[in-house]
Amino acid sequence: TELMAYAAALPKAELHLHIEGSLEPELMFKLAQRNKIELPYKSVEEIRSAYQFSNLQDFLDIYYQGMSVLQTEEDFFDLTMAYLNRVRADNVRHVEIFFDPQGHTARGVPFGTAIGGILTAFSLAKIQFGMTTKLIMCFLRHLPEEDAFDTLKQAEPWLDQISGVGLDSSEVGHPPSKFERVFARAKELGLKLVAHAGEEGPPEYVYEALDQLTIDRLDHGNRSLEDQALIERLVREEMTLTVCPLSNLKLCVVDDLTSHPIKRMLDLGLRATINSDDPSYFGGYMNENFKGIIDALDLSKDDVRTLCENSFRGSFLSDGEKRAQL
């Protein structure tokens, strides 16, 4: 459609992307062979057909198993380059990438191996594609806060190359309040703060992320719509929400894309953005997420432009860098 062509061509920033969730079955298979790692799959097709889940936990089990092929700095470099090269075609000009250091250090892969490969890819993408990048280190919320403190300690040599910390993994039963102290420490260190909240968890978790973690940006936030006072607060505070339509569909946060709340969010005045979350697992990168909502919802040209503008507005670029993109 004409609207989709318009969306595809607009410059965008991606603000919610787990780099480990961009691992395509082809690369997973290649890295398993390169590193002599046994996968429970005999072919690329078998990997793809194993991607069946209907909630966050079932997905996470497959996601953590998939990342076991990532062993060397070169693996993390190849993974990151493949993602950046892919979204260049979607006119993504700036990315703020999440990584899960504990998903690697728990397997004996050093923190420096993971971050080293990612940062080398960032440097090359700046030179080759003119893309700007930022890195956000996520704490796994199903693990104790003490483990998050350990991870923050391991990050110390790289703090000048880490823009912020986030909170991901199994939401229900692991409220933001569990990480209040480690987020306060990250804030003291000058890091930006984001957290997944209100994906499967209740509006109360969004309040905790705002009040106890003092987040700068809200990842997902879908269930905020259940609470009118919370909606009004998010609008008033100009909070950016990083919404992930195809992820919401695959994890059954929505029944189908025609009932996706992104249009309602925009009409309410919420600063929503479009993101791919784990594109290899959820069936599409940035522009495929736009295609999904454009085909399903009655979005206007203004809506599409607002979504793209919100992505730069809500980014951690400086005001000058934002102005250059908007």
Interaction site with Zn ion (CB under 5 A): 277
Q: Which is nearer to Zn ion, 208 or 277 (CB)?
A: 277
| Minimum CB distance to ligand ES4 smaller for 18 or for 104 | 18
Instruction: Give, as ranges, the residues between 50 and 79 that touch ligand ES4 (CB under 6 A).
Output: 56, 63
DSSP class of residue 181? H
Q: Which of 73, 277, 303, 309 binds ligand ES4 (CB under 6 A)?
A: 277
Q: Which of residues 216-235 bind ligand ES4 (CB under 6 A)?
A: none
Q: For 238, what's the count of Cα atoms within 13 Å in the CB-facing half-sphere?
A: 5
For residue 89, count CB atoms less than 10 angstroms from its CB and return exposed for 0-12, middle for 13-18, buried for 19 or more: exposed
Distance CA 284, CA 324 (A): 28
196 binds ligand ES4 (CB under 6 A): yes
Catalytic residue among 199, 200, 208, 309: 199
Of the two residues 121 and 195, which places its CB atom closer to Zn ion in the complex?
Answer: 195
Q: Which residues contact 5 (CB under 8 A, 6 or more apart)?
A: none
Q: In what order do the strands lie in the sheet with 271-274?
A: 12-18, 92-99, 132-140, 164-168, 192-197, 217-220, 240-243, 271-274
Q: Which residue's CB is nearer to ligand ES4, number 56 or number 257?
A: 56
For residues 311 and 27, give the distance between their C-alpha atoms in angstroms, rounded to a whole number.
Answer: 29
Q: Find the shortest distance in angstroms from Cβ 18 to ligand ES4.
A: 4
Min. distance of Cβ 232 from Zn ion in angstroms? 25
**Is 188 marked active-site?**
no
CA angle 264, 166, 146 (to 5 degrees): 140
> 142 among the known binding-site residues?
no
Q: Residues marked as binding for substrate?
A: 278
Residue numbers annotated as active site:
199
Q: Residues marked as binding for Zn(2+)?
A: 16, 18, 196, 277
